[in-house]
């Protein structure tokens, strides 16, 4: 594990470490935070967008990946949405068949599992974020994990200017000089944030256990609403429940926005994870179509999710959502 200044740095160094460079292609989801995709562009490589499975499974559709692979493809970045895993068995099999690297954007998924494996430890590299709104936070911070010793050494060099020894080693008298052998960056996490992270890490497991209770309460309270899809409802793997998204059936972006506005007027803050990246101005050039990602982007609402949310509050949220669905006729 290599601590870093944030997860965007982690994704950047991960792609660099597996050898992604100019004109290479990397398969990415569009239903993710933009940093997943920007990291590909940092290396002058080309992100190739892939759709997600359906409204019940917001991770990459493994059936759609293979047709996107060609001789320029170097890697796949998967994103474990809300702490629910991509089909890592199929992804790893495909990566093996075509000699691709697999990078897990595990920002949503600390301690989450696929089978009995922790997300972030299944592909070649896992990337985590400790930004202020994540499951654990150091305000800004990130981590790269790998079981490949070469990747580990490359990332450590690139984290700190490509220098062969660091101030810490020099101050301990181990080394008086250094060489620079990589065109590196300053992507270090500082000691102050690391000390916050150590304390936060101890609280993570307990927090996640309470979140899964909050999720169960939501599922019960929403069960009467026929227009509400709860993604990953049938998933049995352990999840961080980083967020609690719902997708509205037979809806539109206009209806969704009005419902969000109504909830806001009742004191309920919501969000949207995510506006599809391929529709942003800087990515919109080739006019590709990703029907599921686009529908989800337009019709998803992220409801409040945190461990101190009470059953009464979940009932209040679900009642107001039910009222909003009636008002806006869906």
Ligand X SMILES: *Cc1c(COP(=O)(O)O)cnc(C)c1O
Q: Judged by CB under 6 A, how many residues of this single chain contact ligand X?
A: 14
Cβ 239 to ligand X shortest distance, Å:
14
Long-range contacts of 207-214 (CB under 8 A, 24+ apart): 207/135, 207/307, 208/111, 208/135, 208/238, 208/239, 208/240, 208/241, 210/307, 211/240, 211/241, 211/305, 211/306, 211/307, 212/239, 212/241, 214/241, 214/244, 214/305, 214/306, 214/307, 214/309, 214/314
Report the DSSP beta bridge partners of residue 50.
29
Question: Which residue from 107, 151, 263, 325 is in contact with ligand X, where contact means CB under 6 A?
Answer: 107
17 near ligand X, judged by CB under 6 A? no
Binding to ligand X (CB under 6 A) within 113-142 occurs at 129, 131, 142
Q: Pick between residue 132 and residue 310 the one whose CB is nearest to ligand X.
A: 132
Residue 137: cis peptide before it, omega within 30 degrees of 0: no
Ranges within 33-62 binding ligand X (CB under 6 A)? 33, 35-36
Q: 269, 273, 268: which is closest to 319 by C-alpha?
A: 268
Structure tokens of 1? 């594990």
Which residues are paired to 144 by β-bridges? Answer: 2, 127
Stretch that binds ligand X, among 53-61, 101-109, 198-206, 207-215 (CB under 6 A): 101-109
C-beta of 130: minimal distance to ligand X in Å? 7
CB of 99 to ligand X, least distance (A): 25
Cβ proximity to ligand X: between 109 and 255 the closer is 109
Dist CA 254 CA 259 (whole Å): 9
Q: Least distance to ligand X from the beta carbon of 315, Å?
A: 28
| Closest separation in Å from C-beta 243 to ligand X | 9
105, 113, 124, 298: which one binds ligand X (CB under 6 A): 105
Binding flag, residue 30, ligand X (CB under 6 A): no
Q: Under the rule (CB under 6 A), what is the footprint of ligand X?
A: 6-8, 32-33, 35-36, 79, 105, 107-108, 129, 131, 142
């Amino acid at each position: 594990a290599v601590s870093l200044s944030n997860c965007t740095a982690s994704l950047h160094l991960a792609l660099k470490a597996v050898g992604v460079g100019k004109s290479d292609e990397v398969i990415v989801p569009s239903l993710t935070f933009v940093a997943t995709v920007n990291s590909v562009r940092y290396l002058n490589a080309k992100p190739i967008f892939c759709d997600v499975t359906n409204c019940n499974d917001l991770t990459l559709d493994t059936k759609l990946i293979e047709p996107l692979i060609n001789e320029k493809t170097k890697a796949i970045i998967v994103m474990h949405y809300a702490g629910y895993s991509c089909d890592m068995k199929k992804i790893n099999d495909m990566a093996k068949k075509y000699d691709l690297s697999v990078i897990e954007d595990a920002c949503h998924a600390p301690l989450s599992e696929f089978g009995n494996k922790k997300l972030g430890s299944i592909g070649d590299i896992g990337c985590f974020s400790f930004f202020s709104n994540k499951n654990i936070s150091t305000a800004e911070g990130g981590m790269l994990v790998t079981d490949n010793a070469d990747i580990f050494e490359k990332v450590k060099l690139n984290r700190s200017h490509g220098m062969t020894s660091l101030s810490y080693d020099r101050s301990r008298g181990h080394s008086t000089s250094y060489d620079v052998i990589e065109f590196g960056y300053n992507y270090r996490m500082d000691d102050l944030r690391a000390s916050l992270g150590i304390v936060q890490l101890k609280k993570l497991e307990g927090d996640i256990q309470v979140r899964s209770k909050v999720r169960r309460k939501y599922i019960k309270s929403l069960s009467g609403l026929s227009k509400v899809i709860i993604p990953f409802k049938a998933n049995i793997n352990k999840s961080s429940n980083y967020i609690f998204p719902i997708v509205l059936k037979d809806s539109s972006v206009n209806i969704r926005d009005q419902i969000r506005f109504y909830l806001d007027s009742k004191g309920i803050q919501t969000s949207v994870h995510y506006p599809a990246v391929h529709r942003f101005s800087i990515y919109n050039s080739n006019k590709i179509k990703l029907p599921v990602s686009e529908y989800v982007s337009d019709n998803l609402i992220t409801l409040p999710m945190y461990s101190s949310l009470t059953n009464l509050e979940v009932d209040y949220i679900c009642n107001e959502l039910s009222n909003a669905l009636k008002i806006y006729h869906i």
